[in-house]
Amino acid sequence: MAPALEAQGGETLSQNSFLNSVGDVTNRSKVTVIGSGNWGSVASKLIASNTLRLSNFHDEVRMWVYEETLPSGEKLTDVINQTNENVKYLPGIKLGKNVVADPDLENAVRDANMLVFVTPHQFMEGICKRIAGKIRADAEAISLVKGMEVKMEGPCMISTLISHELGINCSVLMGANIANEIAVEKFSEATVGYRQNREAAERWVHLFYTPYFIVTAVQDVEGVELCGTLKNVVAIAAGFVDGLEMGNNTKAAIMRLGLREMKAFSKLLFPSVKDSTFFESCGVADLITTCLGGRNRKVAEAYAKNGGKRSFDELEVEMLQGQKLQGVSTAREVYEVLSHRGWLELFPLFSTVHEISSGLLPPSAIVEYSEKSPRSF
């Protein structure tokens, strides 16, 4: 099955520009992955397998690692480079001998013209400011980051933040991608969202595509990115349902209502968002898998089982071994947007998730929000 790119109307885009460049070793792209958590390590593994295979990429893949000292006293970067394994965030999986861990962010990005961002969204602005003016002029980026920045002037998507801070084109990759399943090469799909640059989209598709990781592209950055961002809020709601043992019917209802609010919120912020994007891997498929098996659902379940008496911060530290939740912070950011724009009544599920997560309502309120009688959209 060949990598597929879909433009408006669903037609397949030409891959000639990519294929014609395969033999051009004088213009090989160099890749750096900025982030080394669970998903960042899996992304590095995927990419590294392809840079060895495709002659228009340099073999080496740099992976920036936020340096940590392991219980053994060793530095995480040293252990990754010695064992070819991220023993903290992806134990038991070999990343590829061409993956080089680098604790120096500026050094890691210096020579790369393809930058893959995959860190918790709350750290992105600081990372971008650190490398602004220190990357190649011809660099392009892709964001695997779920979340948004909320500023006085309104919400800012992470891809927009990257473009504005670094002055480069930024695509996004989202999908039904539980990292540990992809790490052991179970079949999965993902969606690349791009703006105008189809050739850049082709390069990203080929960089990530493997027989077990099928990647398609659509010309809808905001739609793809908002799907990846907002599904974590719905997953928190699904976790509350699981923790309260409300059953599959209730969970299905919450997921359907969540998808409806995801679509409405996206189209209110960005009228250009396409309805069809919600049927890509980044949309309904990602929502389903995250509500069934993601970390946001898992921790929200524990929160509900404890009656909201233990904070999400406490549960995150206990349950995720250094990984970060996205759903709770995204719910807060979405709530800020809704409150500022007077949209709270339009989005009762999103609003209630934040109010439960912040301790204003009990977990059982997740099925009581419908009594607010929201206006239709």
Pair (164, 55) in one structural domain:
yes
Which CATH number goes with the domain that contains 261?
Answer: 1.10.1040.10
Pair (18, 137) in one structural domain:
yes
Which CATH number goes with the domain that contains 24?
Answer: 3.40.50.720
Pair (64, 201) in one structural domain:
yes
Rounded to a whole number of angstroms, the distance between the first and last alpha carbons of the chain is 39
Pair (198, 58) in one structural domain:
yes
Strand 99-102 with 4-5, pairing: unpaired
**336 contacts 150 by C-beta, under 8 angstroms:** yes
Q: Name the 3-class secondary structure at 173.
A: strand
Q: What is the model's pLDDT at position 153?
A: 66
Does some domain include residue 1?
Answer: no
Annotated binding site for NAD(+): 35-40, 123, 179, 295, 324, 326
**50 contacts 207 by C-beta, under 8 angstroms:** yes
Give the domain-ending residue among 219, 251, 281: 219
Give the domain-ending residue among 192, 219, 246: 219
One pLDDT digit (tens) per residue for the chain, 377 residues: 555 555 443 334 444 444 444 444 558 999 999 999 999 999 999 999 999 999 999 999 999 999 999 999 999 999 999 999 999 999 999 999 999 999 999 999 999 999 999 998 889 999 999 999 999 999 999 999 988 887 666 788 999 999 999 999 999 999 999 999 999 999 999 999 999 889 999 999 999 999 999 999 999 999 999 999 999 999 999 999 999 999 999 999 999 999 999 999 999 999 999 999 999 999 999 999 999 988 999 999 999 999 999 999 999 989 987 777 889 999 999 999 999 999 999 999 999 999 999 999 999 999 986 545 444 44
Annotated binding site: 35-40, 123, 146, 179, 295-296, 324, 326
Tokens of 287: 């929502």
Q: Is pTM beyond 0.85 here?
A: yes
Q: What is the model's pLDDT at position 121?
A: 87
Pair (236, 151) in one structural domain:
no
Does some domain include residue 142?
Answer: yes
Pair (213, 282) in one structural domain:
no
Host domain of residue 90: 8-219
- Cα separation of 100 and 83, whole Å? 11
Pair (142, 286) in one structural domain:
no
Does some domain include residue 58?
Answer: yes
Pair (196, 251) in one structural domain:
no
Query: CA-CA distances (angstroms) from residue 247 to 1, 243, 251, 255, 260?
Result: 38, 10, 6, 13, 20
Catalytic residue list: 231
Does some domain include residue 116?
Answer: yes
Q: Which of 114, 82, 124 is nearest to 100 (CA)?
A: 82
Annotated binding site for substrate: 146, 295-296
Based on C-alpha coordinates, what's the Rg of the chain? 20
- Based on the structure, what is the number of domains in the chain? 2
At 86, the amino acid letter reads N
- Cα separation of 283 and 281, whole Å? 5
Does some domain include residue 3?
Answer: no
Pair (267, 203) in one structural domain:
no
Strand 114-117 with 170-174, pairing: unpaired
In order, the DSSP letters of 86-134 are: -TTTSTT----TTEEEES-HHHHHTT-SEEEE-S-GGGHHHHHHHHTTS
Give the domain-ending residue among 202, 219, 236: 219
Pair (205, 141) in one structural domain:
yes
Pair (37, 97) in one structural domain:
yes
Pair (100, 170) in one structural domain:
yes
Q: What is the model's pLDDT at position 152?
A: 62
**3 contacts 210 by C-beta, under 8 angstroms:** no
